[in-house]
Structure 1
């Protein structure tokens, strides 16, 4: 399900409509819109809660955006901008989808989002507490976002329980199925920090001397992913998953078609994560 609702959420990062909406609200530049847009459900927070809840960003990168962004756009203005930008993007990307299918998918996804467990899920709970939009595309995006952040919160818990930091997980993923060239600048770590983390993962047995994933690392990653899935499973008992999957497949494909190379870690279409 994550591979189907994540691309719908991701239009807020990778479409011109979303960027334009953030800019119109006063958030010039990609990263101001990114940090303000994701953090806005928490209110006018500083850098520390975002370092914790976003998990794998360099603290200095976060501090360059927060709390400064709230002098440019209030959380309320930012929330309006992110919904407007995402809705405009989805209207373009899903223009060939039947309105009835979009409305049904939005209702099913919202039913799942309304059933999340908020305990220990800071971003998931903050998004779940926002008013439910009436317009189907906005409701579809908001539900996808709530479920996405709920799953991400559980993933962070699984990584922490495995004894890893956000930086260590990012460096390992770059060796496993992402690229350092994409992941490192997108998360703000210096070469020295990245290389020190590579050495730490080698000491832990997750990488070999050449920086390649070991079987220990692969097994540890599989368990983290399994724990993430277990933590995210609860809401799906509230909906007809097969019906929702059928509705979302073409919508997700349309959204993925405009995504550039990115550090989110979605598997290639047709492949499991």
Structure 2
């Protein structure tokens, strides 16, 4: 497995506690943000400041504009961006403190922070907005913030790869759902806020491209195209690890493995991100 994908699979869960761990969700509620999606939208968008729906529709990409507009700018009447930034850091710190311990936390926090210092900022709106925030002084805070910068940097690159493939936000979600099959399609549609009409229209557009067969399954062409998107995403995420160096990256992966495994205790296996554990190497 490519280095950028392997290391992403290990730091992404450290960021995801922000949305699912009880301590993290409680911090959002205490700040005035009741409900999962208020915390999610406010938490991810807070580095932008008190923006409206437009920049978030652009940066988050796969969410229906109507769903975003229901959350923004309303969330800023409930909690300021500054209060949300404080809540998400304190919540993540509390959540990770319940899950992680040992000297390896301090070491991996420094390695991950060094990688986060190497992210490319041009064209990476979410990565850059998070990289612009002050670095926490404690190891858990630095670990979480570095994971957040790196995952948003990678996500910005993934959006660029999807745009290069010529798909829009709804098509990207439908494409992923059809590729995964099972129960994911219905849950993904609801989680991203797309109407039945929008979902069906995207299905028809993908079928016209030859990506969905008559029985509703993904074609070989769809799988090949998605593999190209993922490969481009990995290439666009590789820079920080190349600059960190092979030895430091290998050590980072070694230390992150057990920490990421512990975080899955509080991450739902059917979470709506959707984040799934990657198989071991």
Q: Indicate the TM-score class for this superposition, using the shorter chain for normalisation.
A: over 0.9
Q: Is residue 44 of structure 1 aligned with residue 53 of structure 2?
A: no
Q: Is 1:110–1:143's contact at 8 Å kept on the other side of the alignment?
A: yes
Q: Deviations over 1:105-161 (max 9, x none)?
A: 000000000110001000000000000001111110000000000000000000001
Match of 1:58 in 2: 64
| TM-superposed deviation, 1:8 | 0.3
Match of 2:128 in 1: 125
SS of the aligned residue for 1:5 comes to helix
Match of 1:140 in 2: 143
Q: Is residue 85 of structure 1 aligned with residue 104 of structure 2?
A: no
Match of 2:4 in 1: none
Q: Is 1:47–1:59's contact at 8 Å kept on the other side of the alignment?
A: yes
Q: Is 1:5–1:144's contact at 8 Å kept on the other side of the alignment?
A: yes
Match of 1:5 among 1, 8, 11: 11
Match of 1:186 in 2: 191
Q: Is 2:174–2:185's contact at 8 Å kept on the other side of the alignment?
A: yes
Match of 1:226 among 231, 245, 255: 231
Q: Is residue 105 of structure 1 aligned with residue 108 of structure 2?
A: yes
Aligned residues: 269
CA RMSD, aligned part only?
1.2
Match of 1:255 in 2: 263
Normalised by the length of structure 1, the TM-score is 0.96
| TM-superposed deviation, 1:267 | 4.1
Distance in 1 between the 2:278 and 2:210 partners? 30
| TM-superposed deviation, 1:181 | 2.4
Structure 1 unaligned regions, length at least 5: none
Structure 2 unaligned regions, length at least 5: 1-6
Runs of 4+ in structure 1 over 3 Å off: 265-269
Q: Is 2:19–2:40's contact at 8 Å kept on the other side of the alignment?
A: yes
